[in-house]
Amino acid sequence: MTRPGSRHILVLAVLALALAVLAGAFWGTADLPWGERLKALVRAPDAQRNLVLIVWEWRLPRVLLVALVGGALALSGVVMQALLRNPLADPYLLGLSSGASAGATAAIVWLPPTVVAFLGLPLLAFAGAMVAFLITLGLSFSPGRGMDKLVVILAGVAVSLFFSSVSAFFLHIADPHITREALSFLMGSAAGTRWSDLVPLALVFPLAIIGVHALSSRLDAVLLGDERAVALGVPLGAMRVGLFTLAALLTGLSVAGAGIVGFVGLIVPHMARMMVGAAHRRLIPLAVVLGMIVLVVVDLLCRTLLAPEEVPLSVLLALFAAPPFIYILRRVRRGL
């Protein structure tokens, strides 16, 4: 059954996203006249070259990257919460983000820059995310009982702590100059984003949305329980492996692009459910758009609150996510 106004909510969310992207392109540390900002955005012939450079080479790539990261993490959160039937599942809590950050940190600290450039930081972060998640699944699976949903979360927390410790160890023994670069990466930042940095997520993310949305009815069936989903013809094992791999890929690319960005995959799907319900046909597009809005707005605040200094993404995200996270915990305890 379709909730009244769900389509209108999505349209309003898309409009809000467009406004957020424009705000991200207009505002920043450089104090520019409004008329000149508009000229630079539309690349008017009489626009100042330095302003065009600021808007098109510094701000827009950054805004679009954080939008892609927010949408990718929100999509990963929707997938994991559905497959595990656990409202507290997300890439951060299940160890994917910490594994991806450990892989990326190891690459920054230990590998020569030429090797990192050849392999690509997204590939190395993806490898770390996959290793962490495979360990999480291995710890939570037993031959007789299968996968325990509660143990998955506990194993994910343990794996996340382990890989966070690995990252901290690498930073401790690394050269101080490299340590500063890696710390900035781990705390979350899209500063210095170039257009080429958008390519991996820009290629994978649209295909991921299409693929996951095509599986909406099967994800709805999974929410009814494993036995009923199998009875309805859902290839549960293959679908879990494929979607978990996709979530790991999206998380690895997101960490490689903007560092550790926690809570988006946990909070945003719940926000979307409260607006349009649990049916994935409506939930997936709204969660993606809301994830984009949240990260674009938070990144804008990171740039402007203490300008010219920047606040790391993870700091403001943790601050803003605490109240809704407490609310979600209360709902889970009440069984809502």
With respect to residue 279, please indicate whether it lies within any of the assigned structural domains. Answer: yes
From the list 96, 31, 24, the residue with the least C-alpha distance to 67 is 24
- What confidence tier does 206 reach under pLDDT thresholds 50, 70, 90? very high
With respect to residue 212, please indicate whether it lies within any of the assigned structural domains. Answer: yes
Residues 252 and 239: their CA atoms lie apart, in Å, by: 20
Residues 152 and 270: their CA atoms lie apart, in Å, by: 20
Taking 50 as the threshold, does the pLDDT of residue 1 lie above it?
no
DSSP annotation of 4 = T
Percentage of residues of the chain with pLDDT beyond 70? 90
Domain CATH code at residue 329: 1.10.3470.10
With respect to residue 37, please indicate whether it lies within any of the assigned structural domains. Answer: no
* Least confident among 2-11, 200-209, 240-249, 312-321: 2-11
With respect to residue 326, please indicate whether it lies within any of the assigned structural domains. Answer: yes
Q: Burial, 45: exposed, middle or buried (Cβ in 10 Å; 0-12, 13-18, 19+)?
A: exposed
Query: Which of 85-89, 250-254, 265-269, 306-310 is most confident?
Result: 265-269
With respect to residue 84, please indicate whether it lies within any of the assigned structural domains. Answer: yes
Mean pLDDT of all residues in the chain?
83
The answer for residues whose C-beta is within 8 angstroms of residue 273's C-beta and 6 or more apart is: 283
User: 160 lies in which domain range?
Assistant: 65-333
Instruction: Show the beta-strand stretches assigned E in 240-320.
Output: none
Query: Which of 16-20, 110-114, 300-304 is most confident?
Result: 16-20
- pTM equals 0.86
With respect to residue 42, please indicate whether it lies within any of the assigned structural domains. Answer: no
How many structural domains comprise the chain?
Answer: 1
With respect to residue 47, please indicate whether it lies within any of the assigned structural domains. Answer: no
Percentage of residues of the chain with pLDDT beyond 90? 24
With respect to residue 2, please indicate whether it lies within any of the assigned structural domains. Answer: no
- What are the pLDDT digits (tens) for 139-175? 877 766 666 667 777 888 899 899 989 888 888 887 7
Q: What is the pLDDT of residue 67?
A: 95
Arithmetic mean of pLDDT, 73-83: 92
Q: What type of residue sits at position 107?
A: A
From the list 204, 217, 188, 191, the residue with the least C-alpha distance to 284 is 217
- What are the pLDDT digits (tens) for 24-33? 888 876 666 7
- What are the pLDDT digits (tens) for 222-232? 988 888 888 88
